[in-house]
């Protein structure tokens, strides 16, 4: 989840960096709002259907669900792969 592109800040302009960060915060807040709305609707439906809801159970719910969002991207790491050897002698 990122505003514009893959979430990489590719500019050295400080104002542009701040704008991208603020927009990403806005997107995250929208996601939290969506989750609050969805969870509230589900809890109300459960109450209406007669399921008992204890306050401690509701308190255990998180409004910042992340199972369906990869906010910082997906990274496949091959820990067995070695980087190429560095060549220090540039004049050969």
5-9, 60-64, 69-73: the lowest-pLDDT one: 69-73
- Pull the structure tokens for residue 45: 């439906």
pLDDT of residue 49: 94
- What is the rounded distance in angstroms from the CA atom of residue 70 to the CA atom of residue 2? 9
Q: Which pLDDT score is estimated for 31?
A: 80
Q: What share of the chain has pLDDT > 70, as a percent?
A: 72
Burial 26-63 (b: 16+ CB within 10 A, else e): ebbeebeeebeeeeeeeeeeeeeeeeeeeeeeeeeeee
* Backbone torsions φ then ψ of 87, nearest 5 degrees: -105, 115
pLDDT tens digits for 4-60?
Answer: 566 667 778 888 888 888 888 888 888 888 888 888 888 889 989 999 888 888 887
- Average pLDDT (83-88) is 75
Number of Cβ within 10 Å of residue 78's Cβ equals 6
């Amino acid at each position: 989840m990122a505003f514009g592109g893959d979430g990489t800040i590719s500019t050295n302009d400080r104002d542009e960096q701040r704008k991208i960060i603020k927009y990403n915060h806005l997107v995250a807040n929208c996601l939290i709002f969506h989750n609050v709305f969805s969870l509230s609707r589900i809890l109300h439906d459960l109450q209406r259907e007669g399921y008992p809801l204890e306050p401690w159970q509701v308190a255990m719910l998180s409004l910042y669900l992340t199972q369906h969002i990869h906010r910082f991207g997906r990274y496949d790491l091959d820990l067995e792969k070695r980087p190429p050897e560095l060549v220090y002698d540039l004049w050969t």
